Amino acid sequence: MTDQDLPFPDNSLAPHEEQRFQSLEQTVESGLRDFRQTGQALSEIRDNEFYRETHSTFEAYLQDRWGFTPRQAGQLIDAAQVARVLEPIGIDPVSEAQARKFKPAVKVYEELEPEQQRLVSRLIDERRAVETGDVAPWEEAAAPEMKIMASVVKKMGPDTTVYHPESGDEVALGTLSPTQRFEVVREHVNQKTQAYHEKQAAKAAAEPAEKVNWAAWCLNYAREGLTPEQRLEIVLEQGQKGKPVIHARVVDKTTGEVLVEGEAVGNMKKAVLGLITEVRG
């Protein structure tokens, strides 16, 4: 039997596939403003190879039919898949970009057992319920906070040693009642969440680090900072365990005396930046 003897030779689509393909393309065309519909339609077209009659690859189909790069299509598909997972737990991303922020959290969430997922959902509901005008809206921190919740729940198994919420004794998490387990997990989540927000606040308050082009600094310093009796050296030598060590220093040409030197490190850029710090005092 040859391909011509088959009901649908070569790469042609069966009637039901052709009908579904047309429906999906209509969804993409009319739903380009809705990342969920577009991403889901593209995912089904890709997985079923509905493009095969006209294009040999999904990438070629994307470019010819929609002007999408594989990266753009991948982002739409990822965002739609994330939104589908979030919908049952009451999180509704308003854009593709917002949905993709939840991808790391959803990855951890999908690794959980159903009972653990329900626990995360309960934590999310509680977090949303305590929102007041005095704190940042839940939506602004929802993605990282959900990841923290899912990560804590994943890590805390029945054998995890915790402090009893009433007696303070060390016990296995699995020996507690459901209410007590939730209280303990919630406390761990709150601690991790607080630490995360404190770290973000510190980053926001910190002065941005000065950007220095270390190679250009070497040339400028050699031209403007060195005297005729000095030279700038960058020396590479073998250190302990055979690893290279780099010294950046200014030396006296005549005596070889090291006048100023940065910390010896295994990275040339860091070595020069260390010298810059020493030169500036």
The span from the CA of 112 to the CA of 85, in Å, is: 13
Q: Domain boundaries in the chain?
A: 3-88, 102-205, 214-280
Q: Encode the chain (281 residues) as per-residue pLDDT tens digits.
A: 344 444 445 677 887 888 788 777 877 766 656 888 889 999 999 999 999 999 999 999 999 998 889 999 999 999 999 999 999 998 988 888 889 999 999 999 999 999 999 999 999 998 887 765 544 456 678 899 999 999 999 999 999 999 999 999 999 999 999 999 999 999 999 999 999 999 999 988 887 766 878 889 889 988 888 999 999 999 998 877 778 899 999 999 998 899 999 998 988 889 998 999 888 87
Cα–Cα separations (whole angstroms), residue 73 to 43, 78, 155, 177, 233 = 9, 9, 33, 46, 50
Q: What is the architecture of the domain spanning 214-280?
A: 2-Layer Sandwich (3.30)
The span from the CA of 172 to the CA of 163, in Å, is: 8
Closest listed residue to residue 154, CA positions, set 125, 122, 185 = 185
